[in-house]
């Protein structure tokens, strides 16, 4: 892995990786990072050990529903572009029927758990995402909260890698 | 256990047992209950399987800090009286030093977890409560969330028993 002597990150960039303001502030306080791995390790420690439940819910609320386009109410512009890229496989495999079913299950999920269904969608088809949503729907709310937090961390790691890549090579910044 | 043919409960009475409005509404919908056990089983199922994380946080916020008198901002009058009764052992064993230490740890706990330290205080001394607070403080936020929910359920069960007892024998209603 390519090493950068000092990799500085701004709070705004970190909010695009994970929409918890506490997370972004605590990560910024540890910046600059020497490697992507250094940033990822710090992010895991902060996210799982130091961010309270309200911070987790804040980060979840920065995501659009799977199958829906990100709107201005969901996170930053960078976050919206990344979200679109992460859902590209799902969108290619979607039909109006599967999208309709996904929208209905999303609504049921949100009614039961109080937050949006969160999954690291990169490389997953709509059918896979729908099957996972139905499987996870039977979980207890606190179990589902932790699974959603794990999915958020996978998304955060992918986005930190994109951010790191963009900083290493500015031309890569548009490769979502 | 004494059986009541039909034991009706009002939403307001249930909010005094557990300050989640969703919990109270779902319990009321199942009322009347034939036995206390019937009510406790329903309460456990609703609390652990059907109330989302925001509902848990709502219930936690109805409690005063351990070691502090309940104020009007914390739950109903009945809840406040019960809370006082539950903390009576702790208060008898308290000194100004232990109360001060408890207040400081409570503040630290709330800063880390975002909600008040919750423990079924019945029969516990201040020293025991303080030791438990310090032990639990090192937990990850989501682990602590579930422990707090289990403590809330213990409190709810004790309060349902008091409510049931008061309904069986109105004279017992004042025995907090």
Q: What is the pLDDT along chain A (176 residues), one digit of tens a residue?
A: 444 457 889 999 999 999 999 999 999 999 999 999 999 999 999 999 999 999 999 999 999 887 776 665 666 788 878 777 787 777 777 788 888 999 999 999 999 999 999 999 888 889 999 999 999 999 999 999 999 999 999 999 999 999 998 888 765 444 44
Which of B48, B51, B53 lies at the smallest CB-CB distance from A53?
Answer: B53
CA of B56 vs chain A CAs: smallest distance (Å): 10
Q: Which of B142, B146, B147, B151 would best serve as a mutation to test chain A binding (most A beta carbons within 10 A)? A: B142
Percent of chain B whose pLDDT exceeds 70: 89
Instruction: Classify the C-alpha dihedral A102-A104-A108-A114 as positive or negative.
Output: positive
Distance from C-alpha of A56 to C-alpha of A115, rounded to nearest angstrom? 10
- Other CB atoms closer than 10 Å to residue B81's CB: what's the count? 15
Distance from C-alpha of A10 to C-alpha of A3, rounded to nearest angstrom? 19
pTM for this prediction = 0.86
Residue whose token pair is 């201040």: B126
Taking each helix axis from N to C end, the angle separating A53-60 and A141-168, rounded to the nearest 10 degrees, works out to 60
Taking CA–CA distances from A111, the nearest residue in chain B reads B52
Which chain B residues have a beta carbon less than 8 Å from that of A113? 52-53
Distance from C-alpha of B166 to C-alpha of B102, rounded to nearest angstrom? 33
Which chain B residues have a beta carbon less than 8 Å from that of A50? 112, 141
User: Is A59 in contact with A19 (CB distance < 8 Å)?
Assistant: yes
Distance from C-alpha of A18 to C-alpha of A24, rounded to nearest angstrom? 7
What was the pLDDT predicted at A171?
Answer: 55
Say if B147 is an interface residue toward chain A (CB within 8 Å).
no
| B34-72 pLDDT per residue, tens | 999 999 999 999 999 999 999 999 999 999 887 776 665
User: Is B118 in contact with B148 (CB distance < 8 Å)?
Assistant: yes
User: Is B21 in contact with B51 (CB distance < 8 Å)?
Assistant: no
Is residue B38 among the annotated active site residues?
A: no
- Other CB atoms closer than 10 Å to residue B36's CB: what's the count? 21
Distance from C-alpha of B85 to C-alpha of B175, rounded to nearest angstrom? 9
Residue A7 dihedral angles phi and psi, to the nearest 5°: -115, 100
Say if A141 is an interface residue toward chain B (CB within 8 Å).
yes
Taking CA–CA distances from B51, the nearest residue in chain A reads A141
What was the pLDDT predicted at A69?
Answer: 67
What was the pLDDT predicted at B107?
Answer: 96
Q: Which residue has the higher pLDDT, B66 or B31?
A: B31
CA of B149 vs chain A CAs: smallest distance (Å): 10
**CA separation, residue B107 to residues A30, B67, B114 (Å):** 25, 12, 10
Per-residue burial over B44-67, b if 16 or more Cβ lie within 10 Å, else e, is eebbbeebbbbbbbbbbebbbbbb
What was the pLDDT predicted at B170?
Answer: 62
User: Is B141 in contact with B157 (CB distance < 8 Å)?
Assistant: no
Residue A56 dihedral angles phi and psi, to the nearest 5°: -60, -45
Which residues, listed in sequence order, are joined to residue A7 by a DSSP beta bridge?
Answer: A33
Which of B53, B115, B140 lies at the smallest CB-CB distance from A141?
Answer: B53
Distance from C-alpha of B29 to C-alpha of B25, rounded to nearest angstrom? 6
| CB–CB contact B53 A113 (8 Å) | yes
pLDDT confidence bin for B96, thresholds 50/70/90 = confident
Residue-level length of chain B = 176
Instruction: Classify the C-alpha dihedral A102-A104-A110-A116 as positive or negative.
Output: positive
């Amino acid at each position: 892995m390519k090493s950068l002597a000092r990799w500085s990150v701004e709070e705004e960039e970190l909010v695009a990786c994970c929409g918890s303001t506490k997370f972004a502030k605590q990560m910024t306080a540890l910046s600059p990072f020497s490697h992507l791995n250094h940033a990822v390790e710090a992010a895991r420690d902060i996210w799982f050990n130091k961010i309270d439940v309200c911070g987790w819910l804040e980060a979840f609320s920065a995501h659009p529903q799977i199958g829906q386009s990100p709107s201005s109410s969901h996170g930053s512009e960078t976050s919206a572009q990344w979200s679109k890229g992460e859902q590209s496989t799902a969108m290619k495999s979607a039909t109006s029927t599967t999208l309709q079913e996904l929208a209905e299950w999303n609504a049921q999920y949100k009614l039961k758990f109080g937050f949006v269904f969160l999954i690291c969608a990169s490389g997953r088809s709509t059918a896979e995402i729908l099957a996972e949503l139905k499987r996870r729907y039977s979980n207890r709310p606190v179990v589902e909260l932790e699974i959603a937090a794990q999915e958020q961390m996978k998304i955060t790691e992918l986005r930190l890698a994109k951010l790191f890549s963009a900083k290493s090579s500015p031309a890569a910044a548009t490769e979502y």
